[in-house]
Amino acid sequence: MNERVLIIGGGLGGLFTGALLARNGYRVTVLEKNATPGGGLQTFVRSGERFETGMHMLGGFRRGGSLARICHYLGILDRLRIRPTDPDCMDSLHYLAEGERYAIPGGRERFTAYFAERFPLEAEGVRRYVEALYRLSEEVGMFYLREDSVSIFSHSEEFLCPADELIARYVSDPRLRDVLAYMNPMYGGVAHHTPAYIHALVNVLYINGEDRFVDGSSQLAEALSDVIRAGGGTVETRAEVRTIHCEERTIHSVETADGRRFTADRYISAIHPCTLLRLLPEGSLPRAYRQRLDSIPNSYSAFTLYLTLRPDAFPYINHTCYCQISHGEAWRFGAYDDLWPRGVMYMTPPVSDQGPFSRKMIITTPMSFEAVRRWESTTTGRRGAEYERWKAAQAARILDLMEQLHPGFRTKIETLHTSSPLTIRDYYGVKEGSMYGFCKDAQQIALSQVPIFTKIRNLLLTGQNINLHGICGVPLTAINTAEALLGTNRLIHAINTKYETDHGTDSFTY
């Protein structure tokens, strides 16, 4: 086809969209502001250990899963080094105040049976709740790569009810309600606002099979970049777009910070829509559209510790660990006050030839951008001594909590590095360091719906702010964006046909 497509932003959305188009004959150029592409797939090295910046947990890569199908279509699935979590305990959950511990197994039937056994008086409610999760996920055909075009406004009443209210419909025990909301940090849930379908999709994704990258998530970014290059395209790093030249609702070129100018037939923005607005001339999009994007609330951010551990001091844990200070806090994780942190999520990322001990750990806890608002006009490395003291104090609060979980934990640490919502904002270029982009609000669902198409004729959108976020949602949105050029359902059909030709007509096999 040889039509030229330029993608602004080399994160997960930009790379998947670019790879899908390159696989179908488009000449793709990706412009990424950082030194390496990948967005949340990027990794960095500290004290000899490689750390992931965002993509810690994977879903959809098991046989028949949507990500397995997409990556097989792109020819990269066999390149990815992925390790399943422990099937008997994909996640653990610990309530400090109450001393309660849960070892949550993977798989629909095992997940259901586990909570029915732990809460026997709620056994029927648990069964009906899990059925509701899967029923809601079935309403999103794209989640299963089905060829349909159902609107978000053509779903069941439960689809758009608040997630906390969905749980309460089936479960009366307030403790169990809180436990069933434990994956909240994976989607930034807010009580009475986060739609049930978001809660359902995230839970189903990981219940069906939770995995991790071995040796870091940047391998996926590298594989996707290679697909783009194999199609005759390029992935330009250190190429921050500063200006988009647009006249009469048509983009003519983009200009980078170092003065280079790029042209294409089509342009796709994979960056936060509010960041995009600052690059466009004032009148290129309707004022009402700009005001609506600026008014959409963003999900909360996070404060993270990256630790290297002393040799043979801390065991490798083949699951994700969640901790809450007490029951009743699951829907208030993002609040920053005297009770912060209300909980943490920590993990020991696997490496090649992983032994019984880990040499690194990532600990992350949700945090509102308001916690760092006073430094919002500063830049990396120039935030001042007060900011550094503040970061040290936040790290100490998290380590105090870890000491309660693992007495003597501080003695096992070799080095410690931190990131704050400002780090996320500046590293990814996202408004207020939002982890999951725009909040989806069950009370005003139309507000957060951002179409792929724009009023600029040759500009499309992709990324986590369009439709769904995360390791599954962003690639599915990339398919939607690519099909805006290729034709509805053509790409989904090609992905499924190739997978079924090579693997048979199996469905999910969890």
Contact 199, 166 (CB under 8 A): yes
Q: How far is CA 422 from CA 11, 52, 338, in A?
A: 18, 17, 20
Q: DSSP string of 159-224? A: GGSBHHHHHHHH---HHHHHHTTTTGGGTT--TTTSBHHHHHHHHHHHHT-EEEESS-THHHHHHH
CA distance linking residue 318 with residue 82, whole number of Å: 12
Contact 349, 216 (CB under 8 A): yes
Choose among 217, 213, 220, 303: nearest CA to 43.
217
What average pLDDT does this structure show over 341-357?
Answer: 95
Largest Cα–Cα separation, the chain: 67
Contact 369, 300 (CB under 8 A): yes
For 414, counting Cβ atoms within 10 Å of its Cβ (0-12 exposed, 13-18 middle, 19+ buried), the class is middle
Backbone phi and psi for residue 476, each to the nearest 5 degrees, phi listed first: -65, -40
Is pLDDT of 105 > 70?
A: yes
Q: Which of 69-73, 198-202, 257-261, 505-509 has the lowest mean pLDDT?
A: 505-509
- For 197-349, strand residue ranges (E) read 210-213, 234-236, 241-247, 250-256, 261-262, 266-269, 301-309, 320-324, 343-347
Q: How far is CA 100 from CA 92, 317, 401, in A?
A: 11, 19, 15
Q: How many CA atoms lie within 13 Å of 38's alpha carbon, on the beta-carbon side?
A: 20
Task: Tell me which residue has tokens 């901790």.
Answer: 323
Backbone phi and psi for residue 427, each to the nearest 5 degrees, phi listed first: -75, -45
Query: Two tokens at 316?
Result: 């490798």
pLDDT at 506: 57
Q: How far is CA 140 from CA 62, 133, 197, 478, in A?
A: 19, 12, 9, 16
Choose among 301, 300, 305: nearest CA to 346.
305
CA distance linking residue 428 with residue 479, whole number of Å: 22
Q: Strands 413-419, 266-269: parallel, antiparallel or unpaired by DSSP?
A: unpaired
CA distance linking residue 462 with residue 271, whole number of Å: 8
Is pLDDT of 490 > 70?
A: yes
Mean predicted lDDT score pLDDT of the chain:
93
CA distance linking residue 273 with residue 168, whole number of Å: 34
Instruction: Sheet containing 58-59: give its strands across.
Output: 58-59, 210-213, 82-84
CA distance linking residue 55 with residue 432, whole number of Å: 19
What average pLDDT does this structure show over 326-337?
Answer: 91
pLDDT at 179: 97
Amino acid at 77: L
* Percent of the chain whose pLDDT exceeds 70: 98
The alpha helices in 280-384, defined as continuous H runs, are: 287-295
What average pLDDT does this structure show over 205-229?
Answer: 95
Task: Tell me which residue has tokens 């936060």.
Answer: 272
Query: Two tokens at 278?
Result: 């600052």
pLDDT digits (tens, 9 = 90+) for 402-458: 999 999 999 999 999 999 999 999 988 888 999 888 888 888 887 778 999 999 999
C-alpha of 65 from chain center: 17
CA distance linking residue 510 with residue 214, whole number of Å: 21
pLDDT digits (tens, 9 = 90+) for 379-407: 888 899 999 999 999 999 999 999 999 99
pLDDT at 508: 46
Residues 6+ apart with CB under 8 A from 419: 53, 302, 303, 304, 306, 427
**What kind and span of H or E run contains 100?**
strand 100-104
Q: Where residue 147 falls among pLDDT bands split at 50, 70, 90?
A: confident
Beta carbons within 10 angstroms of residue 355's beta carbon: 10
* Percent of the chain whose pLDDT exceeds 90: 81
pLDDT digits (tens, 9 = 90+) for 312-322: 999 999 999 99
What average pLDDT does this structure show over 464-473?
Answer: 86
Choose among 12, 17, 16, 11: nearest CA to 267.
17
pLDDT digits (tens, 9 = 90+) for 128-146: 999 999 999 999 999 999 9
What average pLDDT does this structure show over 10-30?
Answer: 97
Is pLDDT of 345 > 80?
A: yes
Q: Which is higher by pLDDT, 153 or 11?
A: 11
What average pLDDT does this structure show over 288-314?
Answer: 94
Is pLDDT of 185 > 60?
A: yes
Q: Where residue 150 falls among pLDDT bands split at 50, 70, 90?
A: low
CA distance linking residue 267 with residue 253, whole number of Å: 9
Q: Where residue 178 falls among pLDDT bands split at 50, 70, 90?
A: very high
Q: Which is higher by pLDDT, 467 or 288?
A: 288
Q: What angle do CA 392, 397, 399 make, to 5 degrees?
A: 90
CA distance linking residue 398 with residue 343, whole number of Å: 9
What average pLDDT does this structure show over 138-164?
Answer: 83
Domains and their CATH numbers in the chain:
4-46+216-296+442-503 (3.50.50.60), 104-208 (no CATH), 300-435 (no CATH)
What average pLDDT does this structure show over 25-34?
Answer: 96
